[in-house]
Amino acid sequence: MPWLTISGRRERIPPFPHHKVLVHRSRHYFFSKSPLDNLLLGNAVAIRETLSSLKHDCFVPRALLLDPTNACNLRCKGCWAADYGREASLSYEKLDDILTQSEALGIEECMMSGGEPLMRKDDILKLCAKHRRTIFGLYTNGLLVDEALADEMARLGNLNLFLSIEGWRGDTDARRGEGVFDKVIAAMDILRSRHIGFAFSTCYHSGNYQTIASDEFLDFLREKGAWFGWLFQYVPIGKDADLSLACTPEQREHVLKHMADYSRRHGMVLIDFWNNGHLTFGCVGAGSGFVHINANGDVEPCAFCHYSDANIHDMSLVEALRSPFFRKFRNAQPFDANPLAGCPLMNVPDKLAEIVSASGAHSTHAGAPETVAELAAKTKPLDEAWRPVAARISRDMPKHVKRTMKAFTGYLAWKKRRIDRDGPESDDSRNSPQRSWPR
């Protein structure tokens, strides 16, 4: 029986499928010491993914990201989801169908966002009860968490919540609305009373990065019962995005160092997009690690990359994973030799523009669609400022991280030769960056 140390206590991890298994797997995935650790993770899930990929002639991702609805009970400042029409949603029948397809491929993790996924609380609980081979995780603002939901979560076992919080009361309420901080903390108390191992989720930006990365704030969340945390750096997506919220290189490095240090000292799993590029082996979108389906059914490389040439209402999940856009996207991975600068949105938008144009993909950013050229105008200056810092940081990365990265990119290249081998897009891999670390 596996164990994890959580807030100084040894916690038993129940057998799969159980929401606490997600914490255990995340720890081993992000902090693996060798390629072998990654391959043998979770009863050799990586090996099973490879066999399934070869069988179905498509990249089978580790996790499926779904937006059951665009509806939300908040309107947070700086949230690109607020641009979307709130009427879009995937029916229960379509969600059930997608999950049936994903389980047939061997996908064992399903994350849900939106909108506010708990606006579909009853449907989600039904899905958790039916799809017992899947671990579910919901990115939620926490306002709809109550004792009845917590009791159902304790009974079902395979549902986890990632509660959104922006810092202390002032930071959270300023972005999400008055009184939201207290309601999120109340939700944490309810979950902790049932011994449910929830996570916190936060978007850090130029205004709250110091708070998010402080010992005081992280200690507080651990005391409230958080088992792990997901951090998302603010990305200026959408035509009306506020560029003043984008972190400077110094602010981003501050978060990277403090999160890594806190994780080492306390054994807490803290996953920081995009500062953990060296732990995820670069971009893992478009099926290499995960795939996103929005509430309109558009199949996207990730939740932040709003371009697609496939819709789940028109084709199967396997067919979407084989789409020209996804094949070209994967053949460009890794987008940069330095995984700290490997996000196509933030670091190589020109390459993304080339892929979108060549594959016929279109913008799926409802309400405020933007071309890749418009996105690049915002993110290229951020990338140019970050690159010298990223190069310096990467030179000091531990040797085992570099070895694992080298092994993974070799494995990815092999999979691309075996699976994404048909059509002219397979030639894109010849033009991908040299797979080595800065010296």
pLDDT tier for residue 433 given thresholds of 50, 70 and 90: very low
CA pair distance 108, 137, nearest whole angstrom: 11
CB 57 within 8 A of CB 320: no
81 pLDDT more than 80: no
Looking at residue 428, its pLDDT comes to 44
CA pair distance 312, 132, nearest whole angstrom: 22
102 pLDDT more than 50: yes
Looking at residue 83, its pLDDT comes to 59
Write down the mean pLDDT value for the chain.
Answer: 88
86 pLDDT more than 90: no
Radius of gyration of the chain from its Cα atoms, rounded to whole angstroms: 20
What angle do the packed helices 249-266 and 372-395 form, to 10 degrees?
A: 50
CA pair distance 315, 313, nearest whole angstrom: 6
**94-109: average pLDDT:** 97
435 pLDDT more than 70: no
The closest of 376, 384, 381 to 356, measured between CA atoms, is 376
Neighbours of 106 (CB within 10 A): 17
CA pair distance 329, 351, nearest whole angstrom: 9
Tell me: the pLDDT tens digits for 377-400? 899 999 999 999 999 999 988 887
| Token pair of 21 as six digits | 């298994």
37-55: string of b/e by CB count within 10 Å (b at 16+)? ebbebbeebbeebbebbee
CA pair distance 410, 344, nearest whole angstrom: 20
pLDDT tier for residue 27 given thresholds of 50, 70 and 90: confident
What is the model's pTM?
Answer: 0.92
Tell me: the pLDDT tens digits for 255-284? 999 999 999 899 899 998 888 887 777 889
